[in-house]
Every structure is written in C-alpha cells, then in structure tokens.
Structure 1
Amino acid sequence: MSDVRVLLVDDQPLLRMGFRLALESQAELVVVGEAGNGREAVALSGELRPDVVVMDVRMPVLDGIAATGEIVNAHPDVRILILTTFDLDEYAFAGLRAGASGFLLKDVPPEDLVSAIRTIARGDAVVAPRVTRRLLEEFSGRLPVDGDLAPAHTVDDLTERETEVLRELATGATNAEIAAHLFLAEATVKTHVSRILMKLGLRDRVQAVIFAYESRLVEPS
C-alpha cells in the first residue's frame, strides 16, 4: 500500500515519542505531526489531512472523544484510532459512537499498533468483534442515544438476509462464522456486510454493531 500518513495525539510527550519510534521503523508509515490535546488534533487534522489519527482519550483543552467527533464530521476520510487504558472504558464506547474506527489499549505491543493503523487505513475496523460486544453490553443500556447521533436509516432498509447477517455480526461473529451459521459462502457474507454498511450509511463493522444494539435488533445480555 502507499504511505500512510499518521497524526499522533497524546498529552504525554514520552508516549508520543515511543509511538513515533515504533511507527517510523515501518517504511510505509509516516508520522506527519503530533498534538498534545484534542483542539490541536482538530486543527492539525484539517491542516495535514492524515490518513489515521492515533487519539488519546483524556487530554486537556478538548478530550479525544470530542475531538474525534469534530474531525470525523469535518473530514470523513480521516480515520481515528482511539487509545484507552482499560478495555471496558466507557470513553472507548463513546469514541466509537463518535465515529472512531476502533480502539486499542495503550500497552499493546508495537506490532499490534502498526497492524491496527494499516487496517484502519484500508477502511476496516480494528476492534475485535467480541471486544466490541463486551463494550456494548456493558454500556449500551446506560448511555443515552443523543438525538444528533440517532441513525438516519432503520433496519427496515435491509433485506431479510441482510438483517440476519447484521444480527450475527452484532453477536461478535466473524465473516467465516456467519457463513457457517447461515450456510453461505464467506464471499457472500462479505458482500452482504458491504451492502449493509452502504444502505445504513455506516463507516465500518464497528458502527454496524453499534447500530444493531441502538436499534434494538440485538439486546444486551
């Protein structure tokens, strides 16, 4: 793939330095800038137009969740990777709802961070489906659906088969698992997932899972 332009956002300079060293060891990853708070991240995203923003959550001036929402709204082509301290941090859930394409723990091995950035740059999500499910089950019953975030489309926009695929996806199943359960070819499942995202105006699988829970197609256990 061509060079991936990355913006690092964290209020701790030492962490940014560590991330930079890890990323610049990869020929195709280019760190185009650094920001120490969310407001700087929003400004630099507009100025530098990175492919991926590696975003901390708890920062001064403007937190990573608010910054994510502003960046995604202004620049839908910029992908956000949220970094969190705990895998069930409600801020991670809020970040996904704000438009992030996934999240990682801050203590992930460097190779996982590199892999996640590559994946997001391709337009995919990096949150493991079962981890997404845990987040949703933990917080979807407690976090109100903001009117501004209410989906513009409904499950009624989907065919019966697409609804079945979305329900399976929301349980944390992979494409291969969905294919086996619904007796479909894996390529067919991929096609259905693509159509679901297009019809519902969603960015990726993570947003599709959130849609399934918030539209009550699937209920938290």
Structure 2
Amino acid sequence: MSKSSISNSVIRRLPRYYRFLGELENNGYVRISSRELSEKMGLTASQIRQDFNCFGEFGQQGYGYNVSDLRIEIGKILGLDKQTPMILLGAGNLGKAIAAHIDFRNKGFDLIGAFDVNEGIIGKEIGDLKVRGIDELSTFCAENKPVAAILCVPMGAAEKLANTLIECGVKAFWNFTHYDLKVTHKGVAVENVHLGDSLTTLSYCLNNLNNSEK
C-alpha cells in the first residue's frame, strides 16, 4: 500500500500504538498478541492488524508481536529516529510552556530557535534557548535551515509569517493559531492544534453523558 493511500485515522493511531508499546515494554512485556493489545487499547484485534499491515508485516502467526521491535518500527514510520530542526514563533505564555515541557528530541524534532516581536521577551530564555527578535528570522533560517516551525502567534500575524517561513525552507507547521495554512499553502505539512475546539468537544461529551443518564 502506498503511503499516500493510508487513511488519516490510521496515521493518528500510530502515536497511540507507540505510547502503549512503550508502557508495555517498561512493564516487562516481551511479546503481545493483537487480541491482548486490543483489550488494552479498546480497539478490535482486526483493526490493529489492518493498521499494521498498511506498513508491512510485523508479527508472526502463533507468536504475536515483539513489543520492542514493533515499537522501534512504528517509531521509524513516525520519523522519531530523526532529529528535524524546528523553531518556535511566539514566546509568550503558550510558547514558553511548549518549549519548556515538550520532549522534542523523543518526538523527532530538535528545537533550535525561538522568536518574538515583544521587546520584553526578546533576550530572555525559555528552555535552553534565548528568544531572538523576529528581525533575525531570515538570517537564522539561512544559517541553520530549520524544516519545521511552531506557530504561537496571533492569527493576524500568522499568514505573513507563514509565507516568510515557507520562503526560508520551512515545510512543516505545528499550528496553534486559527489561521488555516492547509487552505492557502498546499505543499506543506500542517498539524493544527485548536485547544478551544478540544475543550468544546469535551463540553459536548459531558452534556451527552448527562443526557444519556436522564
């Protein structure tokens, strides 16, 4: 199966598989069957086998899956065996929290720069990085060649900034703004994160739960 034909729902389950397998490995599991894995993850065994078959043959009939080997292979599929250089745009409260608390190296990225327009933030440190002024962005990109960027900027600034970053060679965005890069930029990888949408989804689930109990 070609990678382009793999559904988005399968791709979005891969990080969960990776996380669960890591927990199993830490708890001393050496091998596991699709049935056992399905019981732990709340999926069907058939779904798990179909998902893995999109990327190759990982298990052995009568044995199941080697937990460590399978986790390594899924990590490679996710690109976690690489260190893609990444920069942060917007070093306010959200950007600061992301830089300080996300384990980028174990997620396939190396956070190499942080930028902001606020004179009160420029020069301060977040994580291991000193925040640079946005006027240094083009020069920094030319010298360090980041491939990915985190956008934690106001929506009004996002479009112009995205254009600049794409011109500088950035190909992937972890987007915390409400600006939809996928609509205006076809040749980039985008993961949109809408925290407010997630919270309103929780509100729906809570209200649906309450309604079902009536």
TM-score over 0.5 (shorter chain): no
Q: TM-score range by the shorter chain?
A: 0.3 to 0.5
Larger Rg: 2
Comparing both structures, which one devotes a greater share of its residues to strand?
A: 2
Q: TM-score, normalised by structure 1?
A: 0.36
Q: TM-score, normalised by structure 2?
A: 0.37
Higher relative contact order (CA 8 A, sep 6+): 1
